[in-house]
């Protein structure tokens, strides 16, 4: 299976996806880089969530790994479709696209666009799912699925719930979720490439819940629960 990545140059998680795939022995056919720059506030949010424990891996370092990098104006444009078709790319991995992807890109791929959502689908669709799960005292986890035009609605391949230490702070939890997210999608791509998984292993989602951005008062309760070690899934010693 010929796999390429979608990202933007300043996405703080891209390097971690790239390295996780390499660590699993996945051959990366290329990286399609969207010209859009992350908003300053989005970068600040990443820094706040991780407490500076997950800095960006320099883009130039990754470009020296012998993998082709292609620059496009927009991941939804014709140039991206042309790259997919001329390079024979069968699947794309969302490693930080800044776009809401459209149907023509999905249709251009024999498999589709693989995403790892930081929440257990279909129970936690939408925004700040890590925080909502802690607030509701439900499991935090990641889900590998195919992207469709609906938000977090595509068929599921893998789900993985996580547990945390009593001493884990909010930033510790977020960093663990991010690292587990990268590792899970890399494992999924490896198993798809080797034929252990096929398109038939992606299962349609049932009805679920959609969450918006968590409110500030609820977020304060999230951090208090973690600081006190009272979140139900803080059960590791």
Query: pLDDT category, 237, cuts 50, 70, 90?
Result: low
pLDDT at 37: 87
Residue 227 inside a domain? The answer is: no
The three-class DSSP label of residue 74 is coil
Backbone conformation region of residue 215, classed left if phi is above 0, alpha if psi is from -120 to 50, else beta: beta
Residue 193 inside a domain? The answer is: yes
CATH of the domain at 201: 3.40.50.12230
**In this predicted model, what pLDDT tens digit does every residue of 201-221 receive, in sequence order?**
999 999 999 999 999 999 999
Is it the case that residue 75 has pLDDT exceeding 70? yes
- pTM here is 0.96
Q: How many domains does the chain have?
A: 1
Residue 73 inside a domain? The answer is: yes
- Can you list the positions of beta strands (E) in 24-117? 28-34, 69-72, 91-94, 112-117
pLDDT at 38: 85
The three-class DSSP label of residue 165 is strand
Instruction: Name the average pLDDT for the chain.
Output: 96
Residue 61 inside a domain? The answer is: yes
Q: Which domain holds residue 111?
A: 3-124+138-205
Residue 48 inside a domain? The answer is: yes
Residue 214 inside a domain? The answer is: no
Residue 145 inside a domain? The answer is: yes
Residue 210 inside a domain? The answer is: no
Number of Cβ atoms within 10 Å of the Cβ of 141 = 25
- C-alpha distances (whole Å) from 112 to each of 2, 121, 166, 175, 191 are 11, 18, 39, 27, 15
């Amino acid at each position: 299976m010929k796999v390429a990545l979608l990202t933007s140059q300043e996405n703080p998680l891209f390097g971690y996806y790239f390295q996780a795939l390499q660590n699993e022995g996945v051959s990366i056919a290329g990286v399609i880089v969207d010209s859009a720059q992350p908003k300053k506030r989005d970068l600040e949010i990443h820094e706040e969530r991780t407490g500076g424990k997950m800095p960006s891996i320099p883009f130039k370092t990754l470009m020296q790994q012998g993998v082709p990098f292609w620059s496009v104006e927009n991941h939804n444009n014709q140039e991206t479709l042309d790259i997919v078709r001329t390079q024979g790319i069968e699947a794309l991995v969302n490693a930080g696209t800044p776009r809401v992807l459209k149907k023509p890109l999905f249709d251009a791929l024999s498999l589709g666009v693989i995403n790892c959502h930081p929440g257990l689908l279909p129970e936690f669709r939408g925004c700040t799912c890590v925080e909502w799960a802690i607030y509701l005292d439900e499991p935090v986890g990641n889900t590998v699925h195919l992207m469709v035009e609906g938000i977090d609605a595509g068929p599921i391949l893998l789900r993985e719930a996580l547990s945390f230490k009593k001493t884990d702070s909010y930033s510790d939890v977020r960093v663990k979720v991010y690292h587990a997210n990268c590792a899970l999608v890399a494992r999924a791509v490896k198993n798809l490439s080797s034929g252990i998984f096929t398109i038939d292993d992606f299962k349609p989602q049932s009805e679920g819940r959609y969450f918006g951005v968590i409110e500030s008062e609820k977020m304060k309760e999230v951090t208090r629960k973690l600081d006190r070690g009272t979140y139900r899934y803080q059960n590791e010693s």
